[in-house]
Structure 1
């Protein structure tokens, strides 16, 4: 099940302003990621799915390691990856490995919301390019959509990949469905719609 789309940007405020203008919907502050040098804004996509726009946090010191999702090398915003929600992430990883795909070892993550609540989750290492999602397990913590995010409708989510068969094998090992066709480079495309307008993220 789709958990969230990750739209990475070199300038969070600028990108969020562009999205809000196109959709006529105000995004909400997600929170900061201490030590990673990033912060995010969120927009609901219906159900327990959401869009995460993530970029550098100017209020944090330069992190000792590169920011996630290739943010440090971006020159423009890009839909870099997506996450699938699972329960018992260790079992899902073991099953995927048994079917020939290794999602990586789950990592513990956390952030505080603007209201001070601590969210904790576990995830497999996200790729900065490709169409295969990373896994996320929220366990007993509150899901970001539980706070009632402002919403836009996700009307389309699809991908292109130069080796469709290989990508499909990895998706199948995770028991994930995705509209996948051939393309020269791995590309994700999502179409969002609201009453005022629509927006395509690539």
Structure 2
């Protein structure tokens, strides 16, 4: 079963963006760390149901431009073409190998798995693997954390991520694709994950709901 792991937000200044969000909504945020090989860094907001928001920015343009990681490529495109804002959703799995098998068996194109790591402010290293299903539209990617590597924080907020809405052109068609790719069975518009809800909407911008507060493409 999948869970919402984190929401990725493109930012020219992750710390400034995260602090503005924290002041606006009364939530705590923390420094994440550096992805040295990709030329990026982040700032985070941990929520009470095992997920978080990630403001992701570029610290080394040359490394980011040459990165073979689809997420970093998507970040660069979003910042260049649309500016700051939500651009990706990570879905957590504890068996990324089963999805690789599923994709191959069903001729679903994908990139990965790609290894990732970052150094936390305390010097410790987090590690993970990512899998990117391919398509004309940007699809959520899958993440599997290494043993003992799932990020946590003493600054975790009590508020829960209630839902994530992804804007699509055709909910029925895209819902069928989501069912095929992610093995979700509820219906073609919404799915209950282990910690939240994933929904498709006709609105163009991504929308998240924290508790009763709706936040659109911030």
Which residue pairs with 1:70 in the alignment?
75
Shift of 1:100: 4.9
1:6 maps to: 8
Aligned to 2:144: 137
Normalising by structure 2, we get a TM-score of: 0.76
- 1:86 aligns to what? 93
- 1:150 aligned to 2:156? yes
Equivalent in the alignment of 2:201: 181
* CA deviation vs aligned residue, 1:51-87 (integer Å, no higher than 9, x gap): 1111122xx4632516443335155321101011112
Residue in structure 1 matched with residue 46 of structure 2 by the alignment:
44
Do 1:161 and 1:167's aligned partners in 2 also have CA atoms closer than 8 Å?
Answer: yes
Q: What does residue 200 of structure 1 align with?
A: 215
**Could you tell me whether the CA contact under 8 Å between 1:9 and 1:74 is conserved in 2?**
no
Distance 1:82 1:133, change over 3 A: same
What SS is found at the alignment partner of 1:73?
Answer: helix
The answer to whether the 8 Å contact 2:128/2:149 transfers is: no
2:47–2:160 CA contact under 8 A, matched in 1: yes
Q: Which runs of 5+ in 1 are unaligned?
A: none
| 5+ long unaligned stretches in structure 2 | 185-190, 192-197
Alignment length, in residue pairs? 194
Q: State the match for 1:122 in structure 2.
A: 129
**Residues 110, 120 of structure 1: 8 Å contact kept:** yes
Pairing 1:162–2:163 present: no
Q: 1:169: Cα distance to partner? A: 2.5
State the Cα distance separating 1:131 from its structure 2 match.
5.9
Q: 1:27 to 1:96 in 2, by over 3 A?
A: same
Change (3 A) 1:164 1:106: same
Aligned to 2:114: 107
TM-score normalised by the chain length of structure 1: 0.81
2:58 alignment counterpart = 56
